[in-house]
Structure formats: C-alpha cells, structure tokens
Amino acid sequence: MADELNPEEQITPEEQNVEQNLEAAAPAGEPEADAPAVNENFKWYIIHAYSGFERKVKESLQSRVAAYHLEDRVGRIEIPTEPTTELRNGKKYTIDRVFLPGYVFVEMALDNDLWHVVKNTPRVTGFLQTGDQPNALSEAEVNAMLNRSDATKEKPKLKMKFSKGEQVRITEGPFANFNGAVDDINEDKQTLKVMVSIFGRPTPTEVSFSNVEKSEE
C-alpha cells in the first residue's frame, strides 16, 4: 500500500496542469547545467508566509523549484534577518532574528506556471500585490532591506528586558562583581544606569546591557 501524502504535500489540479506544461516544455535527455543562466527578466517579489515559518518556506520553495526544473527562472530567495544577542542561563548567544516576520523575498521571472508553484508552496498565503498583480520591487528597494541586515551585524542588539529597581550584577568593567539597582534604562543605546554602593553611598554608573546579569539579591 502506497504511503499517504501529507495534506500539505498533496498535488492540486492546478499543480497537475503546471507539471504537464513544464514537462512538455523541458527538452528530453538534456544534462543539467552547473548553474542557471542569468535571466534578464528577473524581478524581486515578496511572498507572504506564516510568521515563524519563513526559513521552512524558503527550504520548501527551493525544493519545489528543483523538482519542477525551474532553476533558470528563479534566482535568490532571501529572508531579511538581524543578529540579536540573547541571554540563556547566564550565557550569551547570538542568533539571526527575522526582522520582517511573514515575508520572503524571491527573485524570479514570474509567469503563470511559476505563480502556481510558488502560491501552492506549503505555508505560503500569497504574494504582496496590488489588485490581481504581484508587486515587483526594484533591486535598490531589496538591497536597502538586505543591507540593513548586514549593517546590524556589526553591533548585535541584546534581547533582554530590564525594569527600574531591578537588582543586577555588573560582570565587566571597573565595577565588575558589584551589585546594584537599575535606575534608568536606555533602549536605544542599550545601556543601564545602575546605582552601586561605594563606601556606603549610592553611586550611579552607566553600563551596557551585555555587561550585566540579573541578580537574585
């Protein structure tokens, strides 16, 4: 008995027609090229995906492009991300966070068959479009988004919440190992003003988010 298809992987009537069209157009017995030729008709489009599944959508779309032999019609597939530093169990981890949840950028020479292949990719809900027409973005518009991702890699932001009055321990700098209370928070500069006790007197000092940890005291 054949294995049942996952509902997300079942072929729709539209996809059957697409597959027949693509098979009829494909030359038989032709060896695969090492790399797709540059297509002057490539334009950038944005597809909507389930939030949190952007990377899965990218992988699924790449697999479908290969399965339908569409490598010559699809170029880059990008997910704009930015580095974010998180604290887990007192340790710092830098991860690439998707800063445009639910959006995937695809460079392609869009036609009706390719539209169906993309639209029927699991967890894709559609194109960013005006009326019935998907919106094509310029190279400059896409680069502006992707370059924002590259620029933030030089200075990752720390994903950690602080509140006034909270007790923290300074881990680096001249006041390392001092405990104090948070007096002010600057989210833009990623700094805290912490009141530490020096010779029994409260003294303010400014430290970065990355140089403190939450204290139980």
| Cα–Cα distance, 27 to 23 (Å, whole number) | 8
Confidence band (pLDDT; 50, 70, 90) for 2? very low
Domains of the chain in start order, with CATH, are 40-158 (3.30.70.940), 160-214 (2.30.30.30)
DSSP class of residue 135?
P
pTM confidence score: 0.55
Q: What is the CA radius of gyration of the chain?
A: 25
Question: Is the pLDDT reported for residue 155 higher than 70?
Answer: no
> pLDDT tens digit string along 128-149?
888 888 989 888 888 877 776 5
Q: What are phi and psi of 88, to 5 degrees?
A: -130, 120
| Cα–Cα distance, 67 to 70 (Å, whole number) | 8
> pLDDT tens digit string along 56-89?
999 999 999 999 999 999 999 999 887 777 767 7
| Cα–Cα distance, 135 to 102 (Å, whole number) | 16
Structural contact between residues 194 and 184, judged by C-beta atoms closer than 8 angstroms: no
Residue 177: predicted pLDDT = 84
| Cα–Cα distance, 64 to 72 (Å, whole number) | 13
Residue 29: predicted pLDDT = 47
Residues in CB range of 117: below 8 A, 6 or more apart: 15, 18, 64, 65, 68, 70
Confidence band (pLDDT; 50, 70, 90) for 36? very low
Residue 65: predicted pLDDT = 94
In the chain, % of residues over pLDDT 70: 71
Average pLDDT, the chain: 78
